[in-house]
Structure 1
Amino acid sequence: MKKRTIATILTGVLLVVGLTGCGAAKQTEENEKDLLASIKEAGVIKVGTEGTYAPYTYHDDSGELVGYDVEVAQAVAEKLGVKAEFVETKWDSIIAGLDAKRFDIIVNQVGITPERQQKYNFSIPYTYTKGALIVKESNQDIKSFEDLSGKKSAQSLTSNWAKLAESYGAELVGTDGFNQSIDLVLAGRADATINDNLTFYDYVNQKPDADVKIAALSDESSQNGILIRQGNESLVEAIDAALAELTADGTLKQISEKYFGVDVSVEQ
């Protein structure tokens, strides 16, 4: 009698668990549809971005938010039939802002990494870059990434570049972004900084007399995509379709060449 009762109870528990699992899956699917639907209903997609990271996302002389990432986000929004509303956030707290649902996506040169892919969804890549090890023009001690061992590298502490510098034995000096990192290198408070090569090229175009150089470039390209919370597959698919269309019609190439002189939306 006891065995029959226990078996009955276990069967009931398993049935409840199974129904709960199905319910959770259904709820997740509904949430996915709801976010894309709510974005379209509101006519706005909220985009997290720094606003201090030229040439990707920054303010021009008139104070307007501009940049490669800004125009990509606007073009994607247009394909979705909505407008992009930007929420400017410091890099070190931008992913936390996505988690807190302060915005729907992040368009801010977020590197596609296995670690991030475990927690978030990414769009297909829209930028390919290489890591640049940047030092003062007069620096003869650092000629490769291996030479960073025991040296100070100025970095945004939560960035991929900080992890790369640390992997070569560098002591990290925390900064708010690329310009501050360069300033520390020029002031001698840091020996080097690592960032993508395109950001460096834009910097020297703006400041041709800057006393900095690239000591080394990484062998492999990094891929950057739009970051999206998990559980929003329909939004991911819509953004991927938009990026594919923007590639096919030449829009991404046009935006790339405007800011870099080359097409950074494809791997070189």
Structure 2
Amino acid sequence: RAAGEIVAAAEGTWAPWTYHDERDTLTGFDVEVMRLVAGKLGVKARFVESEWDGIFAGLDAKRWDIAANGVEVTPERAAKYDFSTPYAYIHTALIVRGDNDTIKTFEDLKGKRTANSLSSTYMELAESYGAEAVGVDSLGETLEMVLAGRVDATLNADVSFFDYMRAHPEANLKIVALTEHSMSVAFPVVKGQDTASFLAAVNQAITELRTSGELERLSQQFFGSDITAVNK
């Protein structure tokens, strides 16, 4: 509040979470949620765009206060960062080309090539099943590699894939498997006593946005469904 702003990191290349619209304005579900959170705190949200693998390095170096980029809460991340109250819940989808009949489950990824953002939970999951993961910068690039046959599959949020298919209905892609349990999406901050009051204020803002229906409204706007429901 003293600075008058929250500095938040976002990729800006992962629709509909964080991306640039037709006017080249940064927007997306995470961006607009963070703007509302900042408003609740009486400050403005200032976004710094970074590739995925640089977002956490920037947090560590305190180049920004928080990350707003569809970050899934994992035990490994929770050991290093404090997370806000979850504001969304998603499943991971295994995506292949429409004519691919060799990959039907996550176990079928062994010995196959996948494409995903470096250091993402999707890349880690693919590698845990024995896939060779190739790093890319955006969802669009990832799916183009699948379509071109340069990789066999990719893993990503189910809602992100549905959004891509709404914009590219002719794309010859399909989901062949989903993770059984949903993952929580939340805002990470550097772990420590000096961020406790900041995180408490962010959590209060998220609670108010959920109660008022504004979280659901944004979810419907960007995803066409409510991904904010607790324990979805």
- TM > 0.5 fold call: yes
- Could you tell me how far apart the structure 2 residues matched to 1:65 and 1:173 are? 27
Partner of 1:242: 205
Partner of 2:104: 143
- Could you tell me how far apart the structure 2 residues matched to 1:118 and 1:168 are? 23
Shift of 1:157: 2.2
2:224 paired with 1:261: yes
- Could you tell me how far apart the structure 2 residues matched to 1:215 and 1:248 are? 35
Partner of 1:35: none
Which deviations, in whole Å up to 9, do the C-alpha atoms of 1:148-206 show, x marking residues without a partner? 11110111120001111011111111111211111111111100000010000000001
The match for 2:214 among 244, 247, 251 is 251
Aligned 1:1-268 pairs, distance under 5 A: 40-231=1-192, 232-266=195-229, 267-268=231-232
Shift of 1:224: 1.0
Q: Which amino acid counterpart does residue 133 of structure 1 have in structure 2? A: L
CA RMSD of the aligned region, Å?
0.8
Partner of 1:29: none
What is the aligned residue count?
229
Q: Which has the higher helix share?
A: 1
Runs of at least 4 residues off by over 3 Å: none
- Could you tell me how far apart the structure 2 residues matched to 1:49 and 1:122 are? 16
- Could you tell me how far apart the structure 2 residues matched to 1:219 and 1:150 are? 23
- SS of 2:46's partner is strand
Which structure 1 segments of 5+ residues have no match? 1-39
- SS of 2:221's partner is helix
- SS of 1:41's partner is coil
Which deviations, in whole Å up to 9, do the C-alpha atoms of 1:77-118 show, x marking residues without a partner? 011111100001110111101111111100111111111111
If you compute each CA radius of gyration, which structure gives the higher value, 1 or 2?
Answer: 1
Q: Percent identity?
A: 49
- State the TM-score, normalizing by the size of structure 2: 0.97
- Could you tell me how far apart the structure 2 residues matched to 1:67 and 1:157 are? 21
Which structure 2 segments of 5+ residues have no match? none
Q: Which amino acid counterpart does residue 80 of structure 1 have in structure 2? A: L
- Could you tell me how far apart the structure 2 residues matched to 1:147 and 1:49 are? 32
Shift of 1:42: 2.0
- SS of 2:219's partner is helix
- Could you tell me how far apart the structure 2 residues matched to 1:49 and 1:155 are? 17
